[in-house]
Amino acid sequence: MDEASVLQVTDPGAANRAWAEIDHQLVDAAVQAPITNPLRAHAVSDRVENAQIHPQWGLMLSLIWVQ
């Protein structure tokens, strides 16, 4: 980062490339963790059968049937 700061004055193009490389290194080294845990409730009738819940899309309406 010190090198990129020095280059900023003498060679802006090289400084931009250096800052981009620093940015890529920081992003590659970053830890990723979910910050939310969404909970969904699905209320269905007692007559509903084969109610399946997909973790991403929720209630699979094409699979349920009613007695």
Rounded Cα–Cα distance for residues 1 and 61 (Å): 54
Give me the residue spans of the domains in the chain: 2-31+42-66
User: How do residues 5-23 score in pLDDT, each as one tens digit?
Assistant: 999 999 999 999 999 999 9
Rounded Cα–Cα distance for residues 25 and 49 (Å): 51
User: How do residues 10-62 score in pLDDT, each as one tens digit?
Assistant: 999 999 999 999 999 999 999 888 888 778 888 889 999 999 999 888 899 99
For residue 4, the model assigns a pLDDT of 92
Rounded Cα–Cα distance for residues 48 and 58 (Å): 16
Q: Are 39 and 53 in contact (CB under 8 A)?
A: no
Closest CA to 63 of 41, 35, 42: 42
Query: Would the pTM count as exceeding 0.85?
Result: no
Q: Are 45 and 66 in contact (CB under 8 A)?
A: yes
